[in-house]
Amino acid sequence: MPQRDFDELLAVLDLRAGGEDVFFGAHPSKNPVRTFGGQMMAQAFVAASRTLPRYIPPSALNIHFIAGGDPEHDLELRVVRLRDERRFANRRVDVMQDGTLLATALVAFMAGGRGLEHSTPPPEVQPPHDLPTIEKLLEGYEETVPLFVEALKPIEWRYTNDPAWIMRDKGEKLPHNRVWLKARGEIGEDPVLHQAAMVYSSDTTVLDSIITTHGLSWGHDRIFAATINHSVWFHRPITFDDWVLYSTQSPVAAESRGMSKGHFFDLDGQLLATVVQEGLIKYFPTN
């Protein structure tokens, strides 16, 4: 099952060409009610990357979500070439479905070369090999978080802290979430696919810190959440079929919107990427 889910992710990232700078992206066999935002972002990133005349490392991805996608229909990704230079490139990707604009992404590429280097150190956490699998953490919670149980799982998750649904059972609060991630198969040598898999994964657990800060959990509590915008800054090359740590926390929630910030670290503690996501968060107390 994990290998099949991973193969489906690779198939989803293998876009079909539909004309000049137009691509089509399929959905996997397991989907939420609306198209998973991480899938839409990853496909937009691949579409932008496939129009480069030569490989240039990405520097940033910024996407604004406008409407939800229907998993029963393919996505159409229209790429606009904004700039092409030897060391720089910029693309806009409009994600369409049945004539409706679902999201607009801006992707920047830059071959910067050597320069000054420093980065935030990673938090001290247990190594991934000693931690329980996501399947183990979901045992007994099949009726509480059925969407998580039934979701596509192309990425291995190893929480270093209790996930929201277990934390809620313990009556605890948590201002951060830290989870080890890696693809459940070999991605190969194409750096675009490693980066796209990380972009796909960056939409998982990132909003959790908003609700765990308040001691809440998906499934246990009546919560509606939808991503408004999402940004990724790429700092260093990424190998996503090896373990990376995704450390997230929420600096603010106000006016029914919450913001989370995340960092991806490799096993050597190097900061690979930074993520910021803003989401609409509505909580409906039962009493």
CA neighbor of 98 nearest in space, from 12, 172, 24, 184: 24
pLDDT digits (tens, 9 = 90+) for 217-254: 999 999 999 999 999 999 999 999 999 999 999 999 99
Contact 262, 245 (CB under 8 A): no
Rounded to the nearest 5°, which phi and psi values hold at 211?
A: -85, -35
The answer to whether position 120 is within a domain reads no
Tokens of 149: 């149980």
Distance of CA 8 to the CA centre of its chain: 16
Residue 2 has pLDDT above 70, yes or no: no
Task: Please indicate, yes or no, if residue 253 is contained in any of the structural domains.
Answer: yes
Domain presence at residue 122: no
Tell me whether residue 211 is in a domain.
yes
Confidence (pTM): 0.96
Report residue 36: phi and psi, to 5°: -60, 125
In a domain, 118, yes or no: no
- Which band of pLDDT confidence, cut at 50, 70 and 90, is reported for residue 286? confident
Q: What is the pLDDT of residues 117-130, one digit of tens each?
A: 999 999 999 999 99
pLDDT for the residue 3: 80
Say if 119 falls within a structural domain.
Answer: no
- Is 124 part of any domain? no
Please, what is the average pLDDT of the chain? 95
* Averaged pLDDT, 86-92: 96
> CATH number for the domain including 81?
2.40.160.210
C-alpha dist (Å) from residue 203 to 40, 84, 197, 226:
10, 29, 11, 11
- The residue range of the domain holding 222 is 2-113+130-283
Residue 21 has pLDDT above 80, yes or no: yes
Condensed to tens digits (0 to 9), the pLDDT of residues 144-174 reads: 999 999 999 999 999 999 999 999 999 999 9
What's the token pair of residue 82? 């904004």
pLDDT at 112: 87
SS3 85: coil
Answer for the pair 241, 201: CB distance below 8 angstroms, yes or no.
Answer: no
Total domains, the chain: 1
Whether the CA torsion 234, 236, 237, 240 is positive or negative: it is negative
